[in-house]
Structure 1
C-alpha cells in the first residue's frame, strides 16, 4: 500500500470546481425556399405513437425499385453453347479437309517416287543392255558356231 495511508481513513483530495462556459449560437440562415407547383405539394400526414405523442410531417413516397429489364427468351449461356458448337463444327470440317489434302498429297508424292524409279530403272537397263556402238567401251563378238567339249568353250 501507499506510505502514510491508512485503509480506514478518508482520502484527502483537492477539490476542483469547473464553471460552464455558455456557447453562443451561430447565426442561423434560413434555408432557401424552393418554388413548388400548385399540384405537387405533398399531403401532410400525422402519426400517433404508442406513448400518445403525435408526429406530423409530409408523407414520403417509398423508394421504387428501378424497372427490371425483360429477360431475353433464350439465356446467354445457351447462345454461347450454340456458338461454341458451330465453331467446333467449322473446325472439324477444316480438319477433315486438311486430312483429305494430306492424303492426296501423300498419294501424289508416292506416284512421283514410283515414276522416278521406273524412269531411272529404265535408263539403267538401257545403259546395261545397249551395245556401245562406236564409243570404244566394249567389244562385239559374233559367234557363229560354238563348240562345247567337256565344259570348255572352243570358239
Structure 2
C-alpha cells in the first residue's frame, strides 16, 4: 500500500516519561481560636468538565452607599419652620396685646371710679358738716394786710 520509500514513513521518536517529584510536607499551621461566625462556609463548585473545586466563598467588598444630598438645605428648612412658628405665634401676640390694652383701660376706669366715689364722699361730708349737731363752726373774720403785716 505504501511505497517502499521510507521518507514518508513516520519516524519513531523516543518517548520520555516524567515522574512527578514528591513535595516535602509543609509543617502544620498553628490553630488560632476564631470567633464563631467569622469563618466563611466551604463551597464546592462542579466545573463543566467534571472537576470539583472546593474553597471558601469570598464576599466582595462593597463600597459605602453614597448619601444623597438633600434637595433643600437644612438652613432653609430651619428658616421656613421658624417663619411658620412666628406666624402661628403672631395671632397669640395680637391677642396678648389686646388683652393688655383692655386690662389697662379697666384699671384706668377703676381709678376714675374711685376718684369719683371718694370725691363725692368728701363733698357730702363738707356740705353736711354745718348741719349736724356735733360739727365745729369756725368764724373767719376779715383780715387786713398792710405793708406785709397781718392785722387781725
TM-score for the superposition, normalised by structure 2: 0.45
